[in-house]
Chains A and B, each alone.
Chain A
Amino acid sequence: MANEEKRPPQQPQDDSRRRFLKYTGTAIGGVVVGGVVGGLIGANRKEDGKTKPPAPGASPATPAAESDRDYNQAFMFFNQNQFQITEAATERLFPADDLGPGAKELGVAFFIDHQLASAYGTNARDYMMAPFYQAEAYQGYQMAFRRRELFVLGLEALDGYSNNHYKKKFVKLTPEEQDAVLTAFESDKADVKGVPASTFFSMMRSLTLEGVYSDPLYGGNKNMGGWKMRNFPGNQMSYMDAIEKDGLVKMEPLSLHDHLTS
Chain B
Amino acid sequence: MATKLPKVPVVVVGMGWVGGIIAAELTKAGIQVVGLERGKSRSTEDYYHVHDELRYANRYELMQDLSKETVTYRNNEKVRALPMRSYGSFLLGDGLGGAGVHWNGQYYRFLPYDFEIRSKTIERYGKNKTPEGMTLQDWGITYDQLEPYFVKYEQMAGISGEPTTPDNVGKMSKPYATGPMKVTPGMKLFSDAAKKLGYKPYMIPSANLSQDYTNPDGVARAACQYCGYCERFGCEYGAKADPVVTVLPVAQQTGKLELRTFANVTGISHTGGKATGVTYVHTPTGEEFFQPADVVVLASYVFSNVRLLLTSKLGKPYDPKSGTGAVGRNYCYQVNGASTTAFYDDKEFNIFMGAGALGSSLDDFNGDNFDHKDLKFLHGANIRYTQAGLRPIQHNPTPSGTPGWGQAFKQASIKYANRVLNIAGQGASLPFRHHYLDLDPVYKDALGLPLMRMTFDFEDQDKELVKFIASKTKEIADQMGATKTEMRDSLSTYSIVPYQSTHNTGGTTMGADPSVSVVNNYLQMWDAENVFICGASNFQHNSGYNPTATVGGLAYRAAEGVAKYLQKPGSLA
Contact = CB atoms under 8 A, between A and B. Distances in A.
The reply to whether chain A is a binding partner of chain B is: yes
Contacts of A237: 225, 227
A34 B225 contact: yes
From DSSP, what is the main secondary structure of chain B's interface residues? Answer: loop
Given A37-B222, A230-B414, A127 B53 contact: no
Contact of A142 (B70, B82, B185, B406): B82
A205 interface: yes
Interface stretch (A47-55, A77-85, A128-136): A128-136
B131 interface: no
Contacts of A213: 53, 391-393
A126 B185 CA distance: 41
Contacts of A230: 392, 413-414, 417-418
Contacts of B225: 34, 36, 41, 237-240
B495 A126 contact: no
Nearest to B71: A127
Given A37-B236, A126-B67, A239-B227, A136 B353 contact: no
B345 interface: no
Interface stretch (A4-12, A59-67, A244-252): A244-252
Interface residues of B, number: 69
24 contacts: A34-B225, A94-B405, A95-B407, A97-B407, A97-B411, A119-B59, A123-B86, A127-B66, A127-B84, A127-B86, A129-B443, A133-B82, A136-B75, A138-B75, A138-B497, A140-B88, A140-B495, A140-B496, A213-B392, A232-B392, A239-B228, A240-B225, A243-B354, A248-B418
Contacts of A102: 410
Contacts of A119: 59
Given A37-B236, A123-B86, A244 B227 contact: no
Nearest to B413: A230
B405 A138 contact: no
B79 interface: yes
A249 B228 CA distance: 14
A139 B443 CA distance: 15
- A-B interface, 9 closest residue pairs, ranked by CB to CB distance from nearest: A138-B495, A238-B225, A213-B392, A214-B54, A36-B222, A239-B353, A248-B348, A235-B51, A230-B417
A218 B53 CA distance: 11
A119 B59 CA distance: 9
Contacts of A235: 51-52
Nearest to A202: B404
Contact of B54 (A133, A138, A215): A215
A210 B350 contact: no
Interface string A200-238: 000001001110111101100000001101111111111
Contact of B392 (A186, A226, A240, A249): A226
Contacts of A126: 66-67, 85-86
B504 to A, nearest CB: 17
Given A213-B393, A244-B182, A141 B86 contact: yes
Contacts of A212: 392
Interface residues of A, number: 68
Contacts of A214: 52-54, 58, 393
Given A34-B225, A92-B406, A243-B184, A128 B54 contact: no
Interface string B414-445: 10011000000000000000000000001110
B494 interface: yes
B117 to A, nearest CB: 28
A128 B414 contact: no
B85 A140 contact: yes
B127 interface: no
B493 interface: yes
Nearest to A124: B67
Contact of B52 (A41, A129, A236, A256): A256
Contact of B405 (A205, A215, A256): A205
Contact of A243 (B80, B182, B496): B182
Nearest to A147: B86
Contacts of B418: 230-231, 248
Nearest to A213: B392
Interface in B376-424: 391-393, 396, 404-407, 409-411, 413-414, 417-418
A128 B227 contact: no
B352 interface: yes
Contacts of B493: 138
Interface in B245-259: none
Contacts of B66: 125-127
Contacts of A231: 417-418
B85 A243 contact: no
Contact of A205 (B85, B392, B404): B404
B67 to A, nearest CB: 5
A235 B55 CA distance: 13
Given A140-B497, A215-B53, A227-B392, 12 more contacts: A92-B406, A93-B406, A95-B410, A125-B65, A133-B82, A138-B496, A214-B52, A230-B413, A232-B391, A232-B417, A244-B183, A249-B350
Residue from the set B74, B86, B184 with the largest chain A CB neighbour count within 10 Å: B86
A179 interface: yes
Nearest to A142: B82
A119 B79 CA distance: 31
